[in-house]
Each structure stands twice: as structure tokens, then as C-alpha cells.
Amino acid sequence: MIRFDHVFKRYPNGREALSDLSLEIGSGEIVFLTGHSGAGKSSLLKLVALIERPSRGQLVVNGQNVAGVSRSKIPAFRRQIGMVFQDHKLLHDRTIFDNVALPLIIAGVATKEVGKRVRAALDQVGLLGREQSVPLELSTGEQQRVGIARAVVSKPAILIADEPTGNLDPDLSLEVMNIFRRFNEVGVTVLVASHDLYLLEHFPVRRVRLEAGRIVESTAAGEAARATLLDPAKFVGLREGAAT
């Protein structure tokens, strides 16, 4: 679904964010991207969303080589990717309904269909009934869930999230992550960048750890679970997360 092939990313100021990075994420996979801030997590996600372009190397997303996507084709390219941001990036002068409906309106979906799908998306994140509120009337966790509803409302094949739980307390973080996992279970490829260790311990999914723009550790889903299980101190509190 997403394939990095010896990708380098160097910014105009000379900083090398990614160097010789190769990574393959299969369709329907869920992957955690970890590492300190500045390790290159955000840069990697920006390349996937074509916010930035690779300096060298090949990146194929959903069968498309990003090098072949011209500027005018970027919007159509982005419509197949749902994006969730740490700061939600909601439009504060519009209702929750309008915020979530934005991708559908851009795609030219008929009005009736928009209403149905927005309510379905809000239902999935547990916010049905809040359509007419504005973002500032909602708590941070709720705002983040609105952001997720907006990311999934157009049923994208890929969902990427940059520090989606950065501003949330542990309980809310787990809730948000469970939402991501539910989408993954219906076949959406999910890529989450996070340095939230607590969260990582609760979800035994594939992990890729970045350091200075390189992959320093890659743990398959099963191994992650075993590592968690081997640690008796962690095992006690983690039944819920590890069981699935």
C-alpha cells in the first residue's frame, strides 16, 4: 500500500529529515511510527500525503508513484488518504457537521448522501447528536474525534495520523486508538506516528522506530505482543489491550 524505496528527504535549509529509508506497509496493515521528536516521523507522513516530496528515492502510495503526481493532481491524490492531526485542524467558524462534510463536498457528493455519511462517521466516533455544535464547544478529546470522523468520512484506503493523542490524557488516548483499530479491522491501512509510550504498550501492533531519519528498529505485530507479555510488570495492567 505504501512503499518507501531508499528515500531521502532534505529540506531547503540543509537538514536531512530522512536518509535512505526503505519501508513497506501492506494493505490493511496498522503500523506505529515511533521515535523522538525530530526523528523524521512527521516528515515521513508528509511524504505520504504529498505535503512534501522526496529529495531522492521512490515512494509509491496506493499504487501511485508520487513522483508522477503533478501539482494539479495532488488534490485528487490526497482524497484517497485520511489525515488526522495533533492540533485537529478543524474550522472553528463552522459546525461539526460542516467540518466533517468538507471532504465529501470537495468530492462533489450529493447533498442527501452527505448527510447520511456524516452522521455515520460521527456515529463511529461516538459524537452523533453533536452535529450543530461548533468545535470550541467540544472538549479536546471530542475535537480530536471530529478530526477522525472528517478523515474517514470519505472512506479512504489509507489513514495517517500525526501524534493524534499528543494533547489527550491516557484514557482518551486509548479511546482514540481503539477507533483507529476499528477502522483497521474493516480493511483501512493505518499509519500512526506517536511517541506516546503508554499507548505503545497497549497495542501490540507493528512498530517502526525512527532515529535521525533512519529506521533503527522494526518490530512485527506478534513480536511486539510477545515483548509486552514477557514483561510481567506491564502484563498486569495490559490485559485489555493485549487480548485482541
Partner 1 sequence: MSAWFVRHLQTLIGSLGRLSQHKLATLLTTLVIGVALALPACLQLLISNVQAATGSWHRSIELTAYLKRPTALEEANRIADRIRQRRDVAAVEIIPADAALKEFRRDSGFGEAIDALNENPLPHVLVVRPKPDYATASHLDGLAADLRSLPSIDLVQLDTAWVNRLNAILDAVRRGVLLAAGLLALGVMAIVGNTIRLDIQNRRAEIEVTKLVGGSDGFVRRPFLYSGVWYGIGGAVIAWILTGVVVGVLREPVTRIAGLYGSGFNLQGLGVQPTAMLLASGIVLGWLGSYIAATRHLREIEPS
Residues near partner 1, by CB under 8 A: 49, 51, 72, 75-79, 83, 89-91, 93, 102-103, 105-111, 150
CA distance 34 to 215: 10
CB of 83 to partner 1, least distance (A): 6
CB of 63 to partner 1, least distance (A): 17
Q: Which is nearer to partner 1, 7 or 102 (CB)?
A: 102
CB of 159 to partner 1, least distance (A): 13
Q: Do 118 and 100 meet the contact criterion of CB atoms below 8 Å apart?
A: yes
Q: What are residue 13's phi and psi, to 5 degrees?
A: -80, 5
Q: Which is nearer to partner 1, 120 or 242 (CB)?
A: 120
Q: Which is nearer to partner 1, 54 or 204 (CB)?
A: 54
Instruction: List beta partners, residue 32.
Output: 192, 207
Work out whether strand 16-25 and strand 2-10 pair parallel, antiparallel, or are unpaired. Answer: antiparallel
Q: Which is nearer to partner 1, 156 or 241 (CB)?
A: 156
CB of 104 to partner 1, least distance (A): 10
**Which residue is it, cell 502510495?**
61
Q: Which is nearer to partner 1, 111 or 236 (CB)?
A: 111
- C-alpha cell belonging to residue 184: 483497521
- Strands of 146-232, DSSP E: 158-162, 189-193, 206-211, 214-219
CB of 219 to partner 1, least distance (A): 30
Which one-letter amino acid corresponds to residue 110?
A
